[in-house]
Amino acid sequence: MTPNWTTLREILLPVTGGRGRRVESALRAAVRGGQLAPGIRLPSSRDLAAQLGVARGTITAAYGQLVAEGYLVSRRGSGTTVAAALGHPAAPPQPAPPPASWRFDLRPGIPALAAFPRAEWVAATRAALADLPDEALGYPDPAGLAELRAELAGYLGRVRAVAASADDVVITHGGAEALSVLAHALLASGHRDIAVEEPGHPGQADLLRANGLRPVPVQVDGAGIVVDALAATRCRAVVVTAAHQFPLGVALHPDRRRALLTWARDRAGVIVEDDYDAEHRYDRPALRAMQAMDPAHVAYLGSVSKTLAPALRLGWLVLPPALRAETVERKRLTDLGCSPLPQAAFAGLLRTGGYDRHLRRTRALYRQRRDALLSAVAAHLPAWHPVGVAAGLHVVLRLPASLDDAAVQRRLAERGIHAPALSTYTRGGAGAPYPGLVLGYAATSPDRLRAAVREIALTV
């Protein structure tokens, strides 16, 4: 192919008189970008050196490096050409559109990120780094840092009545990984189906399915999961949010708790207790964890995503003995364990009381925000009623039966208000028990919450 000397000079003009690396980089970029077409013959090293005013050895070295990398081809008697196999690159992928910029973002599950205890976390991280022995900077124990597992066992026993020692605890990258590795352990022990609450977390069923289990939706009512409906399935494992059902916000009734534990014992089953936000109860202490009632049949799951920040990616499992070894092995095979540094920092927060202080602050903050939201609803939307216990980071508002919650969500989205419909939390089982909106309040100030409710009232 006839060389395009003008194009080549334009490409290399900025590096005239430059060093060899700059010539090499410019040629490489031109080939990759398609400015030098496949098959085009380049000038001899002598000619190109003269044009650029550099030593011939500079061009020879650049050509040699690009031949070695596969960008150019050099044959005796034929000169140096652009490799035909590269060709012009495909059009670069278009970047994903930016997320919607909501005027009011009321999605559930997001804590007050501005309340993250930055100074305490920095101090805990510095102290942890100073105290960690050199060997702790090697590959970690896939079960988690022993210090954190011990602190968590003590904290969970004190706050949630969880019956556990450090050996029962496995540290994970958040609640999602905890459920993923547990799903593999259940699969290895013979489970194929797993019951999930309906309505429930929209991503939970997808995660379980991606990890080899078939999710089976089971109806939830005002007393929690319907155990009779669960017993009618073939499942021997179930995921429940007993302390504060997501999204309905109800607590599992004591009779249902006992029935669920009996179901697990009769079937040699496993209850996965997702205790995602039990630290935030505003009217009374939260019910103790179900795991305390039968550690042999309950796998307990928690994380800091609703208490500190999702970005920390710290979660944990408290496991029955039959599931621990397989779960730890899965951690070893997938990521060799979590980083010891944030684990040690979190252990320090637990040990010094910093975590308890943070929770006391955020409980007061979230109660204030919840009260502001519900006061505004009572004033501007009196036919809409809150459902569930006074807890967590969100509340369900039950809409009048005449309203279609999905249509309401769409109308609000057009006004820049992100207010998820309750019906979007169902996956083909019994469906939502009534039309509703699932509103998060933890990340929004009281004034903004009041403004959002006024806007919602004007829209619907």
Nearest to 394 by CA among 221, 300, 277: 277
Q: In the numeric block, which tokens belong to residue 14?
A: 């900025």
CA separation (Å) from 230 to 222, 225, 391?
16, 8, 26
Residue 239, amino acid: V
Rounded to 5 degrees, what angle do the CA atoms 408, 414, 420 make?
A: 45
Give the confidence band of 13 by pLDDT, cuts at 50, 70, 90: low
Q: Tell me how far apart the terminal alpha carbons of the chain are, to the nearest angstrom.
A: 68
170 within 8 A of 367, measured Cβ to Cβ: no
Residue linked to tokens 């979230």? 366
The two beta strands, 237-240 and 270-274, are parallel
Rounded to 5 degrees, what angle do the CA atoms 24, 26, 30 make?
A: 115
Asked if the model's pLDDT at residue 428 lies above 50, the reply is yes
Question: Taking the model in full, what pTM does it have?
Answer: 0.83
Give the confidence band of 97 by pLDDT, cuts at 50, 70, 90: low
The two beta strands, 436-440 and 394-398, are antiparallel
Q: What is the pLDDT of residues 137-194, one digit of tens each?
A: 999 999 999 999 999 999 999 999 999 999 999 999 999 999 999 999 999 999 999 9
Nearest to 215 by CA among 226, 201, 223: 201
Rounded to 5 degrees, what angle do the CA atoms 390, 197, 364 make?
A: 20
pLDDT of residue 25: 86
- Four-CA torsion 353, 356, 362, 368, nearest 10 degrees: -120
Q: Could you write out the DSSP letters of every residue in 377-428?
A: HHHH-TT-EEES-SBSSEEEEEPPTTS-HHHHHHHHHHTTEE--BGGGG--S
Asked if the model's pLDDT at residue 422 lies above 60, the reply is yes
Nearest to 429 by CA among 223, 184, 232: 232
pLDDT of residue 2: 46
Mean pLDDT (the chain) is 91
CA separation (Å) from 23 to 26, 30, 84, 114, 333?
5, 11, 21, 48, 44
Summarize the confidence of residues 320-349 as an average pLDDT: 96
Q: What is the pLDDT of residues 278-327, one digit of tens each?
A: 999 999 888 899 999 999 999 999 999 999 999 999 999 999 999 999 99
Give the whole-number percent of the chain exceeding pLDDT 90.
75
Q: What is the pLDDT of residues 308-318, one digit of tens each?
A: 999 999 999 99
234/195 Cα distance (integer angstroms): 9
Q: What is the pLDDT of residues 393-403, one digit of tens each?
A: 999 999 999 99
112 within 8 A of 442, measured Cβ to Cβ: yes
Give the confidence band of 430 by pLDDT, cuts at 50, 70, 90: low
Give the confidence band of 378 by pLDDT, cuts at 50, 70, 90: very high
Range 212-232 burial, b when 16+ CB lie within 10 A, else e = ebebbbbbbeebbbbbebbbe
Give the confidence band of 379 by pLDDT, cuts at 50, 70, 90: very high
Summarize the confidence of residues 41-61 as an average pLDDT: 84
Residue 284, amino acid: R
Asked if the model's pLDDT at residue 100 lies above 80, the reply is no
Q: What is the pLDDT of residues 263-273, one digit of tens each?
A: 999 999 999 99
pLDDT of residue 218: 96
Question: CB 289: neighbour CB atoms within 10 A?
Answer: 25
Residue linked to tokens 């490799």? 83
The two beta strands, 169-172 and 193-198, are unpaired
Domain annotation for the chain: domains and CATH numbers: 5-82 (1.10.10.10), 104-108+357-459 (3.90.1150.10), 116-353 (3.40.640.10)
pLDDT of residue 86: 58
- Grouping H, G, I as helix, E, B as strand and the rest as coil, residue 42 is strand
* Residue 152: partners with Cβ closer than 8 Å, 6 or more residues away: 166, 169, 171, 316, 350
pLDDT of residue 17: 46
